Copies of this chain bind each other. A is one copy, B any other.
Amino acid sequence: MTLMTSWVESANSADTDFPLNNLPYGVFTTNRLEARCGVAIGDQILDMAALEEEGLITLAEEPVFDVPYWNDVMDLGPAAWASLRARLIELLSADAADQATVAPHLVPMADARLHMPMMVSEYTDFYAGKHHATNVGTMFRGAENALPPNWLHIPIGYNGRASTVVVSGTAITRPNGQLKAPDADTPHFGPCQKLDIELEMGAIVGTSTEMGQPISIEEADEMIFGYVLLNDWSARDIQAWEYQPLGPFQAKAFATSISPWIVSRDALEPFRTSTPEREKDLLPYLREEKPGLYDIDLSVLIQPDGGEAEEIARTNYREMYYSAAQQLTHHASSGCAMNAGDLLGSGTISGPEKSQRGSLLELSWGGKEPITLKDGSSRSFVEDGDTLTLTGHAQGNGYRVGFGSCTGKIRPAIDFS
């Protein structure tokens, strides 16, 4: 696949995240425009509500773009998603006839503010990266027992909290919580001392299933509307004290950040790649014919307050052990109803090398090997004032399909005791 050229010049650069091949979905405002759906193209945003109002694009009888979320488009289903993409390519390609009518509805990204691209129905987070699970398991249970016995059979997941999924750029307040030092008799309540990130991809479910109705892997793949970058902020010390026996709760409930642009499954199609060789055969309901992962380069950057941003990890989504389709199939296998707007976190994406680890817990090996930043300071975990940023893109031949960035700056904990 090569670059598809557009009459929007900035979309033809080899290093834009948003060429015509991409066309990701977001929600934006400007000083004069209320929140509405937009599509990124080069350094511009196409105002979908205006396009719809002018009759240049029609997906349904009722307007679906003049709202601050893409859920209405999701509800129209995969055939509508395909016709939307086809029409956008028609309107924006270099040889488009409609250039003069479309051009007035481009808004410079520099003038826009981005918002959550959808209403999150429910948020589920998985634990489906083998390097990550092995690293964390080794730290907590020793190398012999690193992977739980179920791990090679089940895409392990837990329900997260949808109410605190926020768009990139939202400041993150350091959480308070119950903490217990290993040598203390009793816990105390106070600010988290081991604040961490988790580099993940988020898959957005675009259609719904009935309660009691499982789905096949093929159906699950068709249900995915698109992908975002996802930072599952984690309070490791709160988690260590609370998580037995029912899993993470307040350690993960305070914030999850996502990138503002939903990259569609169709845009990622050329970058499909398979999950790795299996040590143990998967049960039939989890076996996938079509490659379920994507070749997406991912980076983590840290920027101390007033300092420079620097990369501290680089990995790839293809390192996952389970695909989003496998996770979704497993999620519905008990009869759990799935809804448009459900967000599935991939689990932390770490590669086999130290520089490829997707959390500070792993990068600093639980704080035993702090990393040193360019300004000479060191980090075991995230400090107040730090800005953490995830970036990601799939690299094509002379172009990239990018996700933009997913960023959050840490504010000090509030006093509550």
Enumerate A19-51 residues with CB–CB distance to B below 8 Å: none
Stretch at the interface among A242-250, A361-369, A399-407: A242-250
Q: Do most interface residues of chain A lie in helix, strand or loop, or is the interface mixed?
A: loop
The CA of A339 and the CA of B214, in the complex, are separated in Å by: 29
A148, CB-defined interface residue at 8 Å: yes
Are B333 and A186 in contact (CB-based, < 8 A)? Answer: no
The CA of A365 and the CA of B250, in the complex, are separated in Å by: 31
A235, CB-defined interface residue at 8 Å: yes
Are A161 and B122 in contact (CB-based, < 8 A)? Answer: yes
Are B121 and A163 in contact (CB-based, < 8 A)? Answer: yes
Are A334 and B186 in contact (CB-based, < 8 A)? Answer: no
Given contacts A154-B178, A178-B283, A244-B150, contact A336 B212 (CB under 8 A): no
Q: Which residues of B contact A163 (CB under 8 A)?
A: 121-122, 211, 336-339, 342
Stretch at the interface among A169-177, A294-302, A305-313: A169-177
Given contacts A212-B173, A244-B150, contact A253 B336 (CB under 8 A): yes
- When C-beta atoms are compared, the residue in chain B nearest to A133 turns out to be B245
Q: Which residues of B contact A334 (CB under 8 A)?
A: 175-177, 235, 238, 250-251, 253-254
The CA of A417 and the CA of B158, in the complex, are separated in Å by: 23
Q: How far is the CB of A170 from chain B (nearest CB, A)?
A: 8
The CA of A82 and the CA of B287, in the complex, are separated in Å by: 55
Q: Which residues of A approach B to under 8 Å, CB–CB?
A: 121-122, 127, 148, 150, 153-154, 156-164, 166, 173, 175-178, 180, 186-189, 211-214, 235, 238, 241-251, 253-255, 280, 283-285, 330-331, 333-339, 342, 414, 416-417
